[in-house]
């Protein structure tokens, strides 16, 4: 029982990341009709926003000691981060909380990247077949990841969890179970909460603002909205920026869980497409639901008891679900009838 | 740029093709060999000799690869008479004079194994065929070592394995052309078990998370046997894919499994991730079966300890070597490495540096690059002054027998490179094991002309 | 070859000469070593096969590397169990990958467009994950499948004594290493090219092209397209299996990495780069990518310093720094950019570029050509 509950939490947590990425992917597909294979790269870029932010904060003043030597024989270097020199204690706090603070950097950066991508490249591909969209964005994904590799190297760069959020929460005791039966790391809980809040925010934005209303109308019938004299293109550009921000934020907050490297995007890309397809191309609630669903299913599949019955099911369960959904219900779990049904 | 090498001369093509055609249809498997007594693969004829270093520059073990590259650079510099000579001054065999190998200047080429056998084999073939290397070294994964070692046996190129810890490398999959200086998983078990017994008692229930390839399998088996001999019980062993990244789905079941020790048979970034995530899950603050929950990392290096940071504190493991070893050889190497790169060498760097020197020395002693003679010079070679005390390159399995270190994560590290502390040095006679224990056959000495 | 028209015979003869003389004309480029030339030939076969599916029918598969892997594993098992002879190994490789292609193709082809791509991607990832985990007894997982001294090799050992070392794959005694190995692959590449040429020009090939230009119309005319697409899928899967088998013949080792989806992506990349739909283009693309991977990637800083040494002191560093982004480790970046440029401006790949340049020279006086290129030329006349 406890084991199942713990895996359930794990699944929610994974699902949070999947849902955030898939939501952006679906926004782009639903509004612009573009299949974006570079979306994983946006996730990766977000993660590297956190890395960059921390690098900036921890820029150090290096003084080489004249007399002292390290045990391995080179001159001793004394390093003090500028942030600590200038801001004192606050600087230390800033460094400690660099991951959440880097959201502040990630939002504008990702927005610019997203808008630049749409204006510079994607907009020329609206009228071209899906296959060509896949190809050009696949090429873009390679370019982006190689640029990151040339600046940050090939190795993963670990990002610390803020010191007050290290360790695990006794989730079981909150629910009246025995103490220490179900524990879960604080940061993963934060991630889950974060993803829920962001997803909620996006839906509220689309539901309750005029901008959102126009966008939803545009998703349903682009031409009519255009005929009404509304500049739908500009709104869609902003939606692309929003999708980039979503992927970026998912990446920023994920860094303490998984040290990012240049290949992170490709690792998540296939999975996020599977999520979108299972949820239904172009369906926002579908993307979110499928994200959480697949996260949970994947977690349960990796339980020893399950693997004892079907070996290695944890490795393939996600793809298996995608295949079954595509064959039996190609519009996806929550997809609208008639959208991409062939 | 690259150059055309011996393997391609027009004459040899015709010869090979002709020989093949004559025998075609007669016997199914025929070797092209023996025809050239001293003509062998990539025989260095100019005034330079090229060595090939094949390392993981990307992938889960990339950190070790980067350090190996530094070590090779340093070894080549020392062989060519540059720098302060490092271990050449302490090495018991005084053949190397800083004048290259057999008077030929040493040059080298590098390749990226990407921490995978396929890519490693590709890049090894590239170095043998395109760059004409006479010896290959490096690597940080046993899967890679075994794959490359097989190729080297085929091509008649000596492989001085880098970091590889699987019992199979010099056991089931040992090769005449493959040599390993690094210790193996069985020796880790021997070194670690007494300390685990002393620290954690004999009433323990262990849960293994294991990298799913040859090294993981043999280490799990060795550690399982060693701990079960102490009286421990093994609750569960779970295989995880290499480069899994997020191990949370494997760690969650540990919590309620009734185990009180988690043994992580991981290496490189895999271990950094699995260890930090285990600590995030509060495993180390846990109580189970009335005892404090413990984590053990049977094979650990400074680089991983750096990556894991504070999560490493107090955790036991084993190492091939420690840069803080007080002996003269280790200090000479550390100093020379530190002066050049501003950081101390890791165990991966040490083993690669030593292997390069050992190869150069064997060639000098054999007086030729002809691989069968070099192999004979290495087999049964006794030496000292390489940082692990008196060492033997055992002829039966090409495994070095020497002392190994049991280490623990330091509570108060002085620097980022001071995160491990040697708690026991296990002497060579204790770490020794029967050469026939892991089976395998070395194969023939014959040098193939590639 | 009476059934071929003159142009086809010329193309085929040209291709044959080009492939067989590779060791000569590649020498100045530094690529004339056996391992790389074998790779050229093998990936040539791979993309020719891929092109039969993608180039002719327009179905974009992101999972073709799986068939390559199946072929490799089958060939190595044939070496281990039966004989080191390459022929049975290749036959089994082609057959088994064909079986896989039938199953995967039958299911995936129920959908088209992006859904088809994702289905093939999902199947390939399943194959990869299984090879990596639960199928370890067959694939040896991460360690990769290799020959051992104890292999049964029943057919070989019925005729000869077990040698003391590891045997090499052979063709009735002719060892498949070095240049011999290359010529073996090259001959198969030429045959594969010939077959593809026949397929493209046959009524079957015409049907496939019809499916590409408008599948709906084909369907509406009462034409059942499914068997045709499936046949194309299986043929291209078998080509991939053949390539995989040859990889094992030239180097008897099979690892799971070659089945990963990024490996499939690379095949797509090669095909597009060279020119999907043309016979020769994909091969050029494959050669270009493999050349870059092996030679371009070996450029390091010292080479660059030599190259830019003519520049004044202050200038050299920045130039080297910028250039270093694109060569050596960064060759992937060059490849990615090149690929994007091709997709954006030259959807027909390098072959289209060649053709455009060709028309530029040939048709200069012809003003009826409405293309932008010749339009620009007009005022100059």
pLDDT value of position A227 = 82
pLDDT tens profile B194-246: 999 999 999 999 999 999 889 999 999 999 999 999 999 999 999 888 888 88
CATH of C6-294 given 1.20.1440, 1.10.3470, 1.20.58, 3.40.50: 1.10.3470
- Structure confidence by residue, pLDDT tens digits, B365-410: 999 999 999 999 999 999 999 999 999 999 999 999 999 999 999 9
Say whether residue B252 is in contact with chain A using an 8 A CB cutoff: yes
Give CA separation, C71 vs C91, C238, C250, in Å.
Answer: 9, 8, 13
> Is C143 in contact with B147 (Cβ distance < 8 A)?
yes
Q: Is A136 on the interface with C (CB under 8 A)?
A: yes
Per-residue pLDDT, averaged over B328-333, amounts to: 95
Best interface-test mutation with B: which of C175, C256, C292 has the largest number of B CBs within 10 A? C175
Distance (Å) from the alpha carbon of C379 to chain A's nearest alpha carbon: 29
A255: confidence class by pLDDT, cuts 50, 70, 90: very high
pLDDT of residue A189: 94
How many folded domains does chain B comprise? 2
Q: What band does C262 get if pLDDT is binned at 50, 70 and 90? A: confident
* Model pLDDT, residue B449: 66
Last residue of a domain, one of B399, B425, B441: B399
Write the DSSP string, B331-373: HHHHHHHHHHHSS---HHHHHHHHHHHHHHHHHHHHTS--HHH
Mean pLDDT of A139-151: 92
- Residues A274-286 have a mean pLDDT of 90
- Rounded CA-CA distance B80/B282 in Å is 51
CA distance B303 to B62: 10
Which residue in chain C is spatially nearest to A323 when comparing CA positions? C119
pLDDT, position B2:
41
C-alpha angle with apex C124: C121 to C126, nearest 5 degrees? 110
| Contact across the interface for A327 and C111, Cβ inside 8 Å | yes
Find the mean pLDDT for residues A295-314: 85
Instruction: Please tell me the distance in Å from B96's CA to the nearest CA on chain A.
Output: 24
Q: Which residues of C touch B173 (CB under 8 A)?
A: 148
> Judging by DSSP bridges, how do beta strands B48-55 and B105-112 pair with one another?
parallel
Are A10 and B252 in contact (CB < 8 Å)?
yes
Note whether residue B310 is domain-resident.
Answer: yes
Question: How many other C-beta atoms lie within 10 A of the C-beta of residue C73?
Answer: 28
A320: which chain C residues are within 8 Å (Cβ-Cβ)? 122, 126
pLDDT tens readout for residues A36-95: 999 999 999 999 999 999 999 888 888 887 777 777 777 777 778 887 778 878 888 888
Instruction: Examine residue B120 and state whether it is found in any structural domain, yes or no.
Output: yes
Q: What is the domain range of residue B234?
A: 186-319
Write out pLDDT tens, residues C293-346. 888 777 766 677 777 777 777 777 777 778 777 877 778 888 899 999 999 998
> Do B139 and B247 sit in the same domain of this protein?
no
- What's the confidence (pLDDT) of residue A241? 94
Phi, psi of C328 (to 5 degrees): 60, -130
E strand segments, chain A = 60-69, 75-81, 168-169, 184-185
Q: What is the pLDDT of residue B23?
A: 39
Q: What is the pLDDT of residue B54?
A: 94
- Please state, for a pLDDT cut of 90, what percent of chain B lies above it: 68
Under DSSP, the state recorded for B210 is E
Contact between A257 and B277 using a beta-carbon 8 Å cutoff: yes
Question: Is C211 an 8 Å CB contact of chain A?
Answer: no
* C-alpha torsion angle, residues A216, A218, A224, A229 (rounded to 10): 100
Residue B97 lies in a domain: yes
The pair of structure tokens assigned to C42 is 């093998």
A302 interfaces chain B, CB cutoff of 8 Å: yes
Q: How many CB atoms within 10 Å of residue C252?
A: 25
Task: Reply yes or no on whether the pLDDT at B14 is more than 60.
Answer: no
Q: In terms of domains, do B299 and B245 share one?
A: yes
Q: Tell me which chain B residues have a C-beta less than 8 angstroms from the C-beta of C303.
A: 1
3-class state of residue C185 by DSSP? helix
C23 — contact with chain B (CB < 8 Å)?
Answer: yes
Give the mean pLDDT of C101-130.
Answer: 92
Distance (Å) from the alpha carbon of C68 to chain B's nearest alpha carbon: 13
| Residue A288: CB atoms within 10 Å | 27
Instruction: Tell me, yes or no, whether B95 and B191 share the same domain.
Output: no
Measured between alpha carbons, how far is A107 from C220 in angstroms, rounded to an integer? 50
Q: What is the Cα–Cα distance from C337 to C325, expressed in whole angstroms?
A: 12
- Better pLDDT: B263 or C310: B263
Contact at CB, B335 and A156, closer than 8 angstroms: no
What is the reported pLDDT for A340? 58
Are B292 and B221 contained in the same domain?
Answer: yes
Residue B14 falls within a domain, yes or no?
no
User: Has residue B36 got a pLDDT over 70?
Assistant: no
Q: Does A326 touch chain C (CB under 8 A)?
A: yes
Residues B241, B292 share a domain: yes
Question: Could you tell me the sign of the dihedral formed by the alpha carbons of C218, C219, C221, C223, in that order?
Answer: positive
Q: Does A339 touch chain C (CB under 8 A)?
A: no
What is the reported pLDDT for A338?
62
What pLDDT is stored for residue C301 in this prediction? 66
Cβ contact, residue pair C174, B125, below 8 Å: no
Tell me the pLDDT band of C217, cut-offs 50, 70 and 90.
confident
A336, pLDDT greater than 80: no
Q: Could you read off the pLDDT of B430-450 as tens digits, one per residue? A: 999 999 999 888 988 987 766
Question: Residue B249 and residue A167: Cβ atoms within 8 Å?
Answer: no
Q: Tell me: pLDDT of B19 over 50.
A: no
**Taking CA atoms, what residue in C is nearest to B20?**
C174
Q: What is the CATH number of the domain that holds B178?
A: 3.40.50.2300
Min CA distance, B343 vs chain A (Å)? Answer: 7
Q: What percent of chain A has pLDDT over 70?
A: 99
Domain annotation covers residue B103: yes
Selected residue of B65, B71, B249 to mutate for chain A interface (largest A Cβ count, 10 A): B249
On whether residue B441 sits in a domain, the answer given is no
Query: For residue B137, what are the β-bridge partners?
Result: B53, B160
Looking at C168-280, list the stretches that DSSP marks H as alpha helix, in order from N- to C-terminal side: 178-201, 203-213, 215-220, 226-250, 261-274
Do B249 and A188 make contact, defined as CB atoms within 8 angstroms? no
Average pLDDT, chain C: 87
Closest CA to A274 of A303, A298, A254: A298
Tokens of C232: 């194309």
Are B343 and B303 found together in one domain?
no
Contacts of A143 (CB under 8 A, 6+ apart): C333, C336, C337, C340
Same domain assignment for residues B359 and B281: no
Cα A33 to Cα A38, A60, A126, A338: the distances in Å are: 14, 46, 7, 14
Provide the token pair at B407.
Answer: 């280490």
Residue C375: pLDDT over 50: no
Report yes or no: C170 at the B interface, CB cutoff 8 Å.
yes
In this prediction, residues C113-141 reach a mean pLDDT of 89
Q: CB B8 to CB C179 under 8 A?
A: yes
Q: Which residue of chain A has the CA closest to C338? A: A139
B287 touches chain A (CB under 8 A): yes
DSSP of A127-153, one letter per residue? TS-HHHHHHHHHHHHHHHHHHHHHHH-
User: Has residue A133 got a pLDDT over 80?
Assistant: yes
- Better-scored residue on pLDDT, B447 or B163: B163
Of residues C357 and B25, the one with the higher pLDDT is: C357
> What CA–CA distance (Å, rounded) separates C131 from C139?
6
| The two three-digit tokens of residue C18, written as one number | 């080009």
Question: Which of C333, C345, C347 would you mutate first to test chain A, the one with the most A CBs within 10 A?
Answer: C333
**Residue B319: closest CA among B137, B182, B122:** B182
Are B335 and B263 in a shared domain?
A: no
Domain with CATH 1.10.3470 in chain C: 6-294
Q: Is the pLDDT of residue B30 over 70?
A: no
| Range with the poorest average pLDDT among B260-264, B278-282, B283-287, C300-304 | C300-304
Taking the C-alpha atoms of residue C52 and residue C71, their distance in angstroms, rounded to an integer, is: 18
Q: Is the pLDDT of residue A232 over 80?
A: no
Asked whether the beta carbons of B103 and B45 are under 8 A apart, the reply is no
Residues B307 and B190 in one domain: yes
Find the CB nearest C142 among B1, B13, B143: B143
Residue B90 has pLDDT above 60, yes or no: yes
Beta-carbon separation of B117 and C253 below 8 A: yes
Q: Is residue B449 part of a domain?
A: no
Residue B410 lies in a domain: no
**Helix (H), strand (E) at residue C103:** helix C86-108
Chain B residues close to C256, C-beta within 8 Å:
118
Q: Indicate yes or no: CB of B253 within 8 angstroms of CB of A10.
A: no
Question: What is the mean predicted confidence (pLDDT) over C66-84?
Answer: 96
- Among residues B429, B319, B393, the alpha carbon closest in space to that of B93 is found at B393
Residues 247-266, chain A, touching B (beta carbon < 8 A): 257-259
Neighbours of chain A (3+ CB pairs under 8 A): B, C
The whole-model pTM stands at: 0.89
Token pair of C230 as six digits: 């499936």
Sign of the alpha-carbon torsion through C249, C253, C255, C258: negative
Number of Cβ within 10 Å of residue A203's Cβ equals 15
- Across C133-145, average pLDDT: 87
Q: Please list the residues that pair with B237 across neighbouring strands.
A: B208
Residue C119: predicted pLDDT:
93
CB contact under 8 A, A139 and C126: no
Residues B81 and B170 occupy one common structural domain: yes
Residue C49, pLDDT above cutoff 80: yes
What does the pLDDT read at residue B116?
Answer: 86
**In whole angstroms, how far apart are CA B177 and each of A61, B146, B374?**
50, 11, 10
Residues B60 and B149 in one domain: yes
Residue C61 has pLDDT above 50, yes or no: yes
**Cα angle: C213, vertex A131, A250; to 5 degrees:** 160
Contact A340/C at CB under 8 A: yes
Task: Give A123 to chain C, closest Cα distance, Å.
Answer: 12
Tell me the mean pLDDT in the region A25-42: 89
């Amino acid at each position: 029982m406890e084991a199942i509950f713990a895996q359930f939490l794990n699944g929610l947590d994974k699902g949070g990341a999947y849902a955030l990425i898939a939501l952006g992917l679906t926004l782009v597909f639903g509004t612009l009709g573009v299949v974006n294979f570079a979306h994983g790269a946006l996730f990766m870029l977000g993660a590297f926003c956190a890395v960059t932010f921390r690098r900036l904060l921890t820029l150090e003043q290096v003084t080489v000691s004249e007399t002292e030597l390290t045990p391995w024989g080179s001159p001793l270097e004394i390093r003090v981060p500028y942030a600590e020199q200038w801001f004192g204690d606050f600087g230390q706090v800033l460094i400690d909380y660099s991951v959440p603070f880097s959201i502040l950097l990630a939002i504008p950066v990702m927005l610019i990247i997203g808008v630049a991508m749409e204006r510079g490249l994607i907009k020329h591909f609206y009228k071209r077949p899906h296959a060509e969209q896949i190809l050009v964005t696949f090429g873009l994904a390679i370019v982006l990841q190689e640029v990151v590799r040339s600046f940050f190297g090939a190795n993963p760069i670990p990002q610390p969890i803020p010191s007050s959020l290290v360790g695990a929460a006794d989730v079981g005791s909150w629910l009246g179970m025995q103490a220490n039966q179900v524990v879960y790391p604080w940061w993963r809980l934060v991630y889950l909460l974060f993803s829920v809040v962001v997803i909620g925010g996006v839906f509220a934005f689309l539901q309750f603002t005029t901008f959102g209303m126009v966008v939803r109308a545009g998703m349903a019938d682009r031409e009519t909205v255009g005929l009404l004299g509304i500049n739908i293109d500009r709104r869609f550009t902003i939606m692309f920026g929003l999708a980039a921000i979503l992927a970026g934020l998912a990446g920023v907050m994920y860094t303490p869980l998984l040290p990012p490297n240049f290949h992170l995007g490709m690792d998540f890309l296939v999975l996020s497409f599977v999520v979108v397809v299972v949820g239904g191309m172009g369906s926002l609630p579908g993307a979110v639901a499928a994200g959480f669903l697949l996260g949970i299913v994947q977690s349960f599949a990796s339980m020893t008891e399950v693997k004892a019955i079907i070996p290695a099911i944890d490795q393939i369960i996600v793809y298996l679900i995608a295949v079954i959904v595509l064959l039996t219900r190609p519009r996806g779990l929550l997809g609208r009838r008639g959208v991409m049904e062939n | 740029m690259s150059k055309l090498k011996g393997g391609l001369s027009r004459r040899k093509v015709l010869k090979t093709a002709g020989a093949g055609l004559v025998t075609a249809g007669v016997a199914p498997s025929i070797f092209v060999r023996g025809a050239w007594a001293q003509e062998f693969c990539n025989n260095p004829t100019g005034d330079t000799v090229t060595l090939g270093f094949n390392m993981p520059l990307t992938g889960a073990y990339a950190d070790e690869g980067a350090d190996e590259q530094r070590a090779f650079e340093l070894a080549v510099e020392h062989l060519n008479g540059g720098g302060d000579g490092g271990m050449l001054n302490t090495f018991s065999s005084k053949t190397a004079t800083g004048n290259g190998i057999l008077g030929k200047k040493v040059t080298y080429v590098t390749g990226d194994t990407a921490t995978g056998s396929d890519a490693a084999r590709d890049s090894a073939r590239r170095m043998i065929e395109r760059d004409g290397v006479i010896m290959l070294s490096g690597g940080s994964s046993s899967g890679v070592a075994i794959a490359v070692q097989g190729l080297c046996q085929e091509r008649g190129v000596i492989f001085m394995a880098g970091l590889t810890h699987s019992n199979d490398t010099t056991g089931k999959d040992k090769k005449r052309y493959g040599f390993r200086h690094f210790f193996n998983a069985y020796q880790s078990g021997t070194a670690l078990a007494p300390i685990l017994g002393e620290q954690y008692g004999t009433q323990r229930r262990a849960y293994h998370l294991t990298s799913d390839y040859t090294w993981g399998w043999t280490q799990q088996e060795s550690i399982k046997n060693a701990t079960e001999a102490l009286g421990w019980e093994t609750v569960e062993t779970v295989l995880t894919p290499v480069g899994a990244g997020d191990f949370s789905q494997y760690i969650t079941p540990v919590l309620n499994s009734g185990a009180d020790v988690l043994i992580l048979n991981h290496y490189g970034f895999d271990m950094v991730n699995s260890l930090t995530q285990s600590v995030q899950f509060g495993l180390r603050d846990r109580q189970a079966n009335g005892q404090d929950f413990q984590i053990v990392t049977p094979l650990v290096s400074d680089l991983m300890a750096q990556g894991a940071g504070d999560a490493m504190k107090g955790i036991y493991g084993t190492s091939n070597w420690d840069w803080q070893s007080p002996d003269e050889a280790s200090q000479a190497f550390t100093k020379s490495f530190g002066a050049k790169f501003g950081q101390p060498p890791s165990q991966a760097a040490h083993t690669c540096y030593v292997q390069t020197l050992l190869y150069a020395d064997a060639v000098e002693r054999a007086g030729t690059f002809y691989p069968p003679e070099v192999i004979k010079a290495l087999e049964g070679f006794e030496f000292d002054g390489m940082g692990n005390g008196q060492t033997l390159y055992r002829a039966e399995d090409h495994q070095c027998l020497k002392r190994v270190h049991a280490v623990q994560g330091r509570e108060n590290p002085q620097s980022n490179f001071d995160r491990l502390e040697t708690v026991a040095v296990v002497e060579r006679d204790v770490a020794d094991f029967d050469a026939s224990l892991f089976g395998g056959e070395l194969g023939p000495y014959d040098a193939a002309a590639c | 070859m009476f059934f071929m028209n003159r142009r086809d015979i010329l193309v085929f003869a040209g291709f044959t000469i080009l492939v067989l003389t590779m060791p000569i004309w590649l020498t100045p480029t530094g690529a004339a070593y056996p391992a790389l030339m074998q790779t050229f030939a093998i990936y040539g076969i791979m993309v020719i096969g891929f092109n039969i599916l993608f180039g002719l029918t327009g179905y974009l598969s992101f999972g073709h590397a799986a068939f390559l892997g199946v072929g490799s594993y089958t060939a190595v098992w044939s070496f281990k169990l039966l004989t080191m002879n390459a022929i049975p190994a290749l036959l089994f490789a082609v057959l088994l990958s064909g079986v896989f292609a039938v199953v995967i193709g039958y299911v995936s082809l129920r959908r088209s467009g992006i859904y088809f791509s994702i289905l093939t991607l999902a199947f390939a990832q399943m194959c990869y994950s299984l090879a990596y985990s639960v199928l370890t007894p067959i694939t040896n997982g991460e360690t990769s499948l290799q020959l051992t001294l104890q292999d049964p090799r029943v057919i070989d050992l019925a005729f000869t004594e077990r040698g003391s070392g590891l045997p090499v794959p052979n063709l009735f005694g002719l060892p498949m290493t070095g240049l011999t190995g290359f010529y073996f692959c090259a001959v198969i590449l030429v045959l594969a090219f010939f077959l593809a040429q026949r397929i493209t020009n046959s009524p079957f090939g015409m049907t496939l092209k019809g499916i590409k230009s408008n599948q709906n119309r084909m369907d509406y005319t009462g034409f059942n397209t499914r068997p045709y697409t499936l046949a194309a899928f299986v043929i291209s899967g078998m080509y991939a299996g053949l390539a995989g088998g040859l990889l094992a013949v030239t180097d008897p080792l099979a690892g799971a990495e070659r089945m990963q989806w990024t490996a499939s992506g690379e095949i797509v990349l090669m095909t597009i780069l060279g020119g999907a739909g043309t016979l020769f283009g994909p091969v050029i693309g494959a050669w270009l990518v493999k050349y870059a991977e092996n030679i371009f990637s070996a450029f390091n800083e010292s080479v660059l310093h030599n190259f830019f040494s003519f520049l004044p002191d202050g200038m050299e560093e920045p130039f080297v720094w910028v250039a270093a982004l694109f060569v050596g480790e960064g060759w992937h970046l060059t490849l990615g950019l090149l690929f994007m440029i091709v997709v954006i401006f030259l959807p027909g790949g390098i072959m289209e570029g060649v053709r455009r340049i060709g028309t530029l020279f040939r048709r200069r006086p012809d003003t009826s050509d409405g293309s932008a290129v010749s339009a620009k030329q007009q005022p100059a006349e």
